[in-house]
Structure formats: structure tokens, C-alpha cells
Structure 1
């Protein structure tokens, strides 16, 4: 089975901590693609209580991950990591399908899907 999205061990640790802090243990982590941003598409990471009928279900590092079938092709091969720096820490998303991203680093587009570009703030 194709994994579509890879969650690193560091990212999984922080996801679990966030679930615990927010009282959402046992939830699914949704990795999504949304329209918007300077380049037309943005990533979404969030928690959901239920898996949708059209979701692919993945399990990595003790986390149940859901990806909508419509997003799977855009996300295939994507790696979600968590990096620490002097300025703090945060999730990073590396998508091999992204052919362009905006200067502010929050949106992207692929060869197959451009999305709906919006002005960056």
C-alpha cells in the first residue's frame, strides 16, 4: 500500500504531545491540501475524530493518519518533519510534487494542480 505521506519520528512525537495537550488522544491526524496562498495551494494539518468515507488510512509511529483520496496524488511522497532552531521549533513539509512555492513559504503548486492563488499577507 502506498504511504502517500511519511511522518518522521520527531514529527510523530510532537503530534502526540499536541494531541495529549489538547485532549485529542486517539484522534486521526489529517494531512490535507487546501486552496489559497500566493502559489495556489496550502497544507493543512489537524485532528479529526472520524475517518471520512473517501480517506486513505495510514499508521506510522503510533499515529493514525488520514489523507483524502483527492489529496493523495498531490501529497504522494511528502515528508512531514519537526525541526528545532534557535528561533523555536515547527513542522516542515517536503513535497517532491511541488514545482513552485511562494516567497513566504506557506503555499505551493504542482504541475497537475495550481489551485487558487491569493495575495500573501
Structure 2
């Protein structure tokens, strides 16, 4: 069975670097979906120390990742990567469930859950 979210080795490396820099070693990486943005939904990533009952726990490259059961359907098949370019580096999110996305690249829409569009 495929993981709800796949976090590449490059992305995990940078997440762990951020954890060390922020004193968050041992925390979980929370991957979430929030209402808002130009297309209705936005991605969220952050550190948490507690797992709730409705969270799915994924472990990839020794990183513990939390996804709520509510967000799992929207994120199913999503890949999070880290890419470097001449302008710097950053996380990229490829969600096969997104049917529309915004020019800023942080907002998206799916057929599964609609949000209220707002400015980027």
C-alpha cells in the first residue's frame, strides 16, 4: 500500500536541518491542508511534539510524519521534494488530486474539498 504522502530523501534532509536549527529534534513533521489562498486550499508543514488520535503516522528516511485522517484523502499520492536552483532552494509539492493551482504555487483546489478563494 502506498504512503499517503511521500517525502523524498532530499526533502527529509532539509527538514532535519531545520529541526536541528530550531531545536525541534524528535518532533514530528505535520503535513496538512488548510482553507485559504487563491484557489481555496493551501499546504501546511510544521513541527509538532504530540500525535493526536486521528493522525496517521508515516515514517520515511527516519523522519516521523503526521497527516490527519481528514487531510489524508486530499493528500493521497502527494510527493514533497526539495529542489535547488540558481535562485535558491525550496520545497515542491506535487499533488495528483489538485485540479487547479494558483500562480504563487502555494494554493490549490481539488474535487474532494472546496475552499473559499482569496488573494495570494
The two structures have a TM-score, normalised by structure 2, of: 0.97
Instruction: Report how many aligned residue pairs link the two structures.
Output: 120
Show structure 1 runs of 5+ residues with no match.
Answer: none
Helix, strand or coil for the counterpart of 1:43? strand
Residue 119 of structure 2 is matched in structure 1 by 119
Question: Unaligned stretches of 5+ in structure 2?
Answer: none
- Once the two structures are TM-superposed, the CA of residue 116 in structure 1 deviates from its matched residue by 1.8
Corresponding residue SS for 2:83 = strand
| Structure 2 counterpart of 1:84 | 84
3-state DSSP class of the match of 1:92?
A: strand
Q: Give how far 1:82 is off.
A: 0.2
Deviation at 1:2, TM superposition (A): 4.3
Matched, 1:49 2:49: yes
Rounded Cα–Cα distance in structure 2 between residues aligned with 1:91 and 1:103: 16
CA RMSD of aligned residues (A): 0.9
| DSSP 3-state at the match of 1:23 | coil
| Structure 1 residue 102, shift from structure 2 partner | 1.0
Q: Secondary structure at the match of 2:59?
A: strand
What's the TM-score once normalised by structure 1's chain length?
0.96
Give the alignment of 1:23-34 within 5 angstroms: 23-34=23-34
Task: Tell me the distance in 2 between the aligned counterparts of 1:11 and 1:119.
Answer: 28
Q: Is the 8 A contact 2:30 2:67 kept in 1?
A: yes
